[in-house]
Amino acid sequence: MENASAAKPERGVELGNPRRRRGLLLVSALSIFMALGWGAYEWLVARRYESTDNAYVQGNVVQITPQIAGTVLAIYAEETDYVKAGQPLVKLDPADVQIALRQAEANLGVTVRQVQTVYANNAKLAAQVRLRQAEADRARAELQRARDDLARRAPLAANGAISKEELAHAHSQLATAQSAFEAAQASTATAREELASNQALTQGASVEEHPQVEAAAARLREAWIAARRASIPAPVDGYVAKRVVQLGQRVAAGAPLMSVVPLRQVWVEANFKEIQVRKIRIGQPVELTADLYGRRVKFHGKVEGLGVGTGAAFALLPAQNATGNWIKVVQRLPVRIALDPKEVVSNPLRVGLSMQATVNISSAEGKTLADASRAASEAQTPVFANGDDGADEAVRRIVNANRTAPSRARH
């Protein structure tokens, strides 16, 4: 009993320790202050922003592929090299395409000569028609003469003035004249048909505009363009990456040789959680930092678009949630962020780099999805636009040379 009564005063002394009480009050006050401060920060600042570190730099990786098959003779660029649009990257052996070009030139020349012969046949066939018509006119005159002769002899034979043999001879001459006239008419009709058929091949078009000549000219232009494609240019300004082509390699059309990455045209793809996308709108400002430069370098951009599906929806093997062991996983939606081009030039980024993206969602007036297509092309190159330069001049030269060949031969 004495031990129990002795212990009570000690507990009272412990609970009544003013230093301990002040410490607990200080900790409680500090906790309340921190909670109020955090609440104020969330209300005044944090709720206006959505951030994620699941963001990466994306860019166009332009694959360089040949448009014709050939053997690699030269490689003009190596990985990490900077190339300008139109600069040659790879040269293929032009022997095969040059042979095809010479064949197309020869074929065009032969076609022009053949078509020119068809035009020249119009005059020849017209003369034959006139000749056959003259023969038919003479046959008609002979037929009329034979009819008149028979008409004169028939009354005389009835009176016995001429013999029956002479009358039979007049009948025979009429039959012969009738056959000759019919044959002349058939020959004239055949000549007219040949002339009409030949005129149908040439009517309404000159030698240069004749379908056969235009078809041969098209084959020449095709061979001309193929010959130009033996040199493979860079379609855009950028840096060479993933070079796999080697000297002497036989490559097929469409085979990947290397890639060119235009690092000045990169963007950021930030993957936000479903609940974060509620207030993200197109056009909202974004502040970004890259692990490459750290927080001392800040990039500025804006939301350019929101993805139309999650990564799981477009996966090669989409998730099948209709199972008994289903577990909900928070999905992420890709958000495309356009960067300030000047900042990208000052601090170059690389494709695939990690980024920290913070979107200012204070203004929710923008759209969640685009409702119109782009006014201008997102990416284009003029490098391949003039592949047929010189082809029209070659066609004119060959056509004119083969049109004047017959006249030179006559001289």
Give me the residue spans of the domains in the chain. Answer: 97-225+389-410
Tens digits of residue pLDDT in 241-276 = 999 999 999 999 999 999 999 999 999 999 999 988
Kindly compute the dihedral angle of the four CA atoms of residues 363, 365, 366, 368, in this order, to the nearest 10 degrees.
Answer: 100
CA separation, residue 330 to residues 138, 140, 157, 275, 334 (Å): 103, 103, 124, 9, 13
pLDDT at 266 (0 to 100) = 95
pLDDT at 238 (0 to 100) = 94
- The domain 97-225+389-410 is placed in CATH, from the list 2.60.40, 2.115.10, 1.10.287, 1.10.3470, at 1.10.287
Q: Say if residue 14's pLDDT is above 60.
A: no
Average per-residue pLDDT for the chain: 83
Q: What would the mean pLDDT of 32-59 be, rounded to a whole number?
A: 80
* The residue to which tokens 């592929």 are assigned: 65
DSSP state of 178: H
Q: Say if residue 407's pLDDT is above 60.
A: no
pLDDT at 41 (0 to 100) = 62
Measured distance CA(91)–CA(185) in Å, rounded: 67
pLDDT at 82 (0 to 100) = 96
What is the per-residue burial (b if ≥16 Cβ within 10 Å, else e) of 29-54? eeeeeeeeeeeeeeeeeeeeebbbee
Confidence class for position 66, pLDDT limits 50, 70, 90: very high
Q: What would the mean pLDDT of 117-126 be, rounded to a whole number?
A: 72
DSSP state of 340: P
Tokens of 246: 């080697």
Q: Say if residue 199's pLDDT is above 70.
A: no
Confidence class for position 13, pLDDT limits 50, 70, 90: very low
Q: What would the mean pLDDT of 32-40 be, rounded to a whole number?
A: 77
User: What would the 3-class secondary structure string for 215-272 be?
Assistant: HHHHHHHHHHHHHHCCEEECCCCEEEECCCCCCCCEECCCCCCEEEECHHHCEEEEEE
The residues facing 334 across adjacent strands are 271
Measured distance CA(386)–CA(291) in Å, rounded: 43
Q: What would the mean pLDDT of 156-162 be, rounded to a whole number?
A: 67
pLDDT at 129 (0 to 100) = 75
- The percent of residues above 90 in pLDDT, for the chain, comes to 42
302 or 317, higher pLDDT:
302
Kindly compute the dihedral angle of the four CA atoms of residues 128, 132, 133, 137, in this order, to the nearest 10 degrees.
Answer: 150
